[in-house]
Structure 1
Amino acid sequence: KHNYKTYVKVKAGDTALLDCEAVGEPTPKIFWLLPSSDMISSSTARHVLHRNGSLSVGHAARRDAGEYRCIARNPGGDDTKLYKLDVVAKPPVINGLHVNKTIMKVTAVRHAKKHIDCRAEGTPAPQITWIMPDNIFLTAPYYGSRIAVHKNGTLEIRNIRPSDTAEFICVARNDAGESMLVVQLEVLEMLRRPMFKNPFNEKIIATPGKSTTLNCSVDGNPPPDISWMLPNGTWFSRGIRTAQFLTGSAGTLTISSPDHGTAGRYRCAARNKVGYIEKLIVLELGHKPTILAGPEGPVTAVSGQSLSLHCLANGRPKPSTAWTLPGGRVLDRPQINGRYTLLENGTLLVREATAQDRGDYVCKAHNSAGDDSVTIPVVIAASPPRITRRPPRTLRTRPGAAVQLHCAALGTPAPHISWELPNRAVLSPERPGAAPGHELRPPGTLLIPSARPHDSGAYMCTAKNQLGSDFAVTYLHII
């Protein structure tokens, strides 16, 4: 005979468990008759038949509601148990708010993009629809040229206009009911998030004891509130004055007498209703330049050769270097100026020095904390050529003999030696092949390996540098 009916209620999406334990000899076989009139004796995709005869209905939906009949049968007979299953759906919940209607006010900036969330949960899954100000219904998902409704219910409005100041209504609906979100959007034309006029982190080098101002100028609307964090972690807002610090209305922080106690990392923060930004300013104490040890006594350079004068300086900030030349001309930045070159490291190069380059060279290193200078006297060693080893005035030899005509000279810079032959050909280190059968050997010897009668004549040795020249003539007779 039929057993009594049991009523079971379960929320949609939950699991319903219907018990059906049966005893008998032999052990009864369990069957279930579903509301669809299907009969099962084993588990299916949505129904689990347990070993003790109980039936589980997973993720219960409204279609699972109805009468379930458990049948226990053996050769001695059968017995049944009835269940009435009621599946209760979950009404929509928008953005986690368990109320039927929510009103919220939001703002947006003109020409910007705005996202308005309408995340709805419920069983079965709610359908989301946005009602636009002109009573147009947009069901998720929807993608238009300027307005989109995403699958999760979020409304996206691009290129916000003043006319978008209105009410936007999100409705979430399922079989269990509906919920509503009313969004009152206000478009603000002039809102601007804070923006530093100099957005980069800075390093400021202060002169000890001299007032220093840190600048944190910022733009935005409404005007941002500016605050400063000191190296010790203390925060100062606008208008604060202490013995050492003063915050100004334009975002400045003035340090009256910087010292090692006030050096460090300062953080400037600017905030208004649409944004917040920060920047870092590192304050270091400067020190005046110090020129590293230079040459002791005058620097001697050889006329015609290059001269290097070094002026390496330390300081904070990094000092600039300027040179004052003996004639009064000043080179105050790295450059190439005629024969003078001023390098980045402060070294002065003088190309092909002459006697006019002698005198006092003054190097000055300067930064905001002070300066240092050094004077370097320069002596240019120079003398005109003087032939110290001459060939004889007249030299006689036989044909076929080797002839050497010696010619050595002193001078600063070192003289350049050349030989002029009887045929007017000039033999020099630059033109060693100008006279076949004749060789010029250092420092100035002329070699004729095998003299011939036509080699007879006047030979002139010339020694020359920038300051002058000297010459010697010998007459060679081949007889």
Structure 2
Amino acid sequence: MKANQILPKFQEDTTFETKSNFTFEATRFENGQKFHCEASNEVTVETKDQPMHAKMELEIWYPPIVRVEPKNITVVEGAKVLLKCVYESNPSSLNSVIWYRNGERVPVHNTSHYEGGTTDQHSLIILNANGDDMGNYTCLLGNAVGNGTSEDSIDVNILFKPQVRLTMSSPSPILETEHKNVTLTCEVVSGNPPILDEVIWFLDGEVLKHLPECNDTEGEENLCNEVDPSMLLLQDTTKSFHGNYSCKGKNYAGWGNVSAKTELVVNYPPGPAKLTYSPWRVVKGKSLVLSCSIKERGRPEAHRFRWTRGGRLVSDIVSQNWTIDPVTLDHRTNFSCWGINAGGGGEPAYTSIDVLAPPSFKYAMNHYSGALYKSQNISLSCTVECAPLCSVQWLKDGQVIDPDKTDRYYVIERKIEPQVNRNDFEATESTLHWNMSAWPSAALDRAADTASYTCRSSRNLAGAAVNSTTKFAVEYEPENITVTPKVVQVTENEIPAKVVCSARGFPMPSYSWRREHPSKALSKEHGNHSLTLSSSNTLLLGPAQRRDAGNYVCEAYNRHGSVNTTVFLDVMFIPECGIKQTEMDGFQVLVCTAHANPAAVSFSWKLKNDNDSLTDEKIWQQGIHSYLRLSSSVEVYRTYLCYANNTVGMSRPCERDVMEGGDDIPFPLAPDLCLNQGPIKGIPEHVAGIFNIVSTEHLITISLEQKLPLIRPSAPQTRECEEFVNET
């Protein structure tokens, strides 16, 4: 506070006016206080008059000073709660009332839940209190001066029934086979107090447990206090624990609602399996259906199955039924099956299947069988697959062969074990043997012993009997071979007649034709002509050359042997001649020699010069030679011509030049190796000819017109002849 005085102010009436100010900060505490002011001067002091005075009562406006009460309030949900807001203010009339809960404005306009909280009734009444009304409440009041808020608050505690949810320690599904312990917890989602005093547990809507289980038995009170009713232990969970669990809890406010249902899924394997199959008689090559059934399908329901065959898992079969088509030997074994689901596998079922095989030939006989008539080792064999094993009989021409009643045959049987990798079941191999020592002459008769033999099985549980028949024939090597015709005559360059070769034998003989050469050397030289000419019984040749003449061999053969014969090809050709000069009995003689087929030839002589004629020349013939004795009276140059003729025709003339006195045209002596040779390399084509032998030791005559197809010398000889010709 502060007081000050203002200097006196002189007035017109000769008095002074004096003012004194008292300054202070007004608060609500000064409201209604009375202030007294006295004024005196020297006059009043001297006269001892009472000082002048004045009084004033002070009115101070201030905003509301607010407090709330009670400090704490606890009620049960549904009760009515009165929250008081007390204040002092100047002016006392309010123009606003606001309630706050936890700092947020309370919607007092919701008259269904609140009363008051207005300028007319600034206290707040909560109707039908619930958990949402819990919190710290403050009150704000306003008047014309301003607003005032309570510094303290009301702690409102609403006790309400618990809302719970159920949780599980292990998430669903769980496996029965794991024998788990599962703890169920009834958690308070909302409720005051949040601690449950009692809990009722439900399974599928039925009361399962009411905790704590206290029967007011003396001494159990402390034990009950230690039990937490919000937890329920399911020990060693089995399929019986499967279901929908729920709970409801109780606190001081009472029992809450039942929680939503939570499913505990306990998966467990399916029950024991039952294994059946059809048909009851399982046969190789047929179909088989295996069925695996289970009464208790488990949880979840089993729709898949496991199968084993022979102890090995069959991974690609998961259905209830397994169709096997076709059945093989590999299915003659143990089978098992069981159901499976998410809970595991059930107890398996087992069965053993015996697969039967109807009689069938693993190795049947050929339609034809044969043996050499004199063979000492003859047998027929068949192998019959059948399970159970079959017996085998042998029949000859439909009649059963009983080895106990005849010594001509005996039978040997052998059991063949099954082979899984080839799907071959057990089989009987039966072999019928001929006891040749019991046959006449230890040989078979070609006609009488040809017969039909049958291998016949017995029937078994899987099927009917089977049989295999073979036509057995007595075989023998080829014989009685003939060719028609035996000799074939053909003129050179013409096609010879066909030759047919035939022989007896069984199996029917096969044939081949080849050229026969008179010597190994000649055969080697003409190796290409030794090749097979025909693989049939007929020999067909092309236009014949004289070199083709000779024997041709026909060979008939089968698996038991061979036989052969020959046909002669006679190639006929017109004569070819050559003239040589020799001395006989002191006379010069021309010798005309013919080469021809047929060799029977006739000769004729003439002079080349038509103006000349034979005079006293003597001519005679011996075989293929014609002789002409030269006349000593002839003293001129002459050319003699010789003609040879046979049934084929006449030869071209061969010539001989004779000089005066009967002398030949002289040439140096040629080596012997050059005689009777064909055309030699180096001789001009227009003079190509054949060397002809002359009896003189110093001269050789060359016939320039005659060409004889004679055999050539070897290469070294040819070179020597060529050198000689070139020199001459």
- What interval of TM-score do these two structures reach, taking the shorter chain for normalisation? 0.3 to 0.5
- Which protein is bigger by CA-based radius of gyration? 2
Identify, as 1 or 2, the structure richer in helix: 2
Q: Name the structure with the higher strand share.
A: 1
User: How high is the TM-score relative to the length of structure 1?
Assistant: 0.40
TM-score, with normalisation over the residues of structure 2? Answer: 0.28
Larger relative contact order (CA 8 Å, sep ≥ 6): 1
